[in-house]
Amino acid sequence: MPGADTLPLLSLLVPFYNEQAMIGHFFERVIATLERIAGIRFEILCVNDGSQDGTLDGLVAASQRDARVRVIDLTRNFGKEAALTAAIFEARGDLIVPFDADLQDPPEVIAQLVDKWREGYEVVLARRASRAADSLIKRWTALSFYRVHNRIADVSIPENVGDFRLFTRGVADSLKALPESCRFMKGLFAWVGFRTAVVEYRREARTAGTSKFSGWKLWNFALEGITSFSTLPLRVWTYLGVSVAVFALMRALWLVVRTLLYGVDVPGYASLATAILLLGGIQLIGIGVLGEYIGRIYLESKGRPIYLVRRRFERTAPHA
């Protein structure tokens, strides 16, 4: 019978941002669930992403009670993608599971992910079979994003799959080797590939706290995803420019023919002003799309770190 130290270590990666109300219930449910999974050890790696309430104090207290809980405190709020990246770099496990602190993804599903891994898969996705807990507009916008992204991007993202999944140490090392600082994790998870299976589950409602993603943040998040894995928005303007040029040439030829046949009439100004405003608007939109990509080049060229760690908290004594 193998000793406890030789069992695979599962790292549960949990970004926290202003989740003070969830901490007690989170650890009570998650630790009890992980302890029921046979044949593994586990650690819970909590990343405090610049919380402004009592989240850090609650996490540090949990780490002092249980040596299996570790806390990484970032110097400020870097955003969920950076916090998740920090967790991947800090994780010690053979198996890694990104997880949200709001418990909308039931921790009981982790046992099913582990079972699939034991069948030989390197990545096990947790797909939401039902999003009834989300609002109608959130479900519609999420579906629209997946459909648009997968039509234009070079790498398809599985629909209704968030960050919640299991992957092996080899996958984690591949993610750590990717150099970009503007990280759209759902796309990076899909880009690295590996042998993948899917487990479906039903998403739950929040038991406490509120979502930290506003409509504006979700819109910017969608733009980040599209510009990270597709150049089609840039290419579209080439096609649009060619189309407008061909239309202008055909109209010019038609005006020459009409003038030769019917003479010169007095043109109106309304149509001219409309054409100028339309083309000006199209040009400004094109410049805006170009600016999105130039902005990404600008940020990447600086070479700044993705995150900064203020302090790490863990209890070195073994769990009783």
Q: Would you say 128 and 143 are in contact if contact means Cβ atoms under 8 Å apart?
A: no
Query: CA geometry: angle at 162 spanning 236 and 222, to 5°?
Result: 30
Cα separation, 10 vs 171, whole angstroms? 14
**What average pLDDT score do residues 126-147 get?**
69
Confidence band (pLDDT; 50, 70, 90) for 1?
very low
CA quadruple 291, 292, 298, 303: dihedral, nearest 10: 180
Per-residue pLDDT at 262 exceeds 90: no
pLDDT tens readout for residues 65-111: 888 999 999 999 888 888 989 999 999 989 999 998 888 888 898 99
Domains defined for the chain, CATH in brackets: 7-230+304-314 (3.90.550.10), 232-302 (no CATH)
Q: In this predicted structure, what is the pLDDT of residue 215? A: 55
Q: What tokens were used for 217? A: 């943040």
Mean pLDDT of all residues belonging to the chain: 78
DSSP annotation string for 131-171: -TTS-HHHHHHHHHHHHHHHHH-SSPPPTTEEEEEEEEHHH
Between residues 314 and 258, the one the model is more confident about: 314
Q: Across the strands, what pairs with 168? A: 95
Per-residue pLDDT at 22 exceeds 70: yes
pTM for the model: 0.69
Confidence band (pLDDT; 50, 70, 90) for 320?
very low
DSSP annotation string for 268-299: -SHHHHHHHHHHHHHHHHHHHHHHHHHHHHHH
Which residues 6+ apart lie within 8 Å of 318 measured at CB? 67
Q: In this predicted structure, what is the pLDDT of residue 272? A: 66
Give phi and psi for 282, each to the nearest 5.
-60, -40
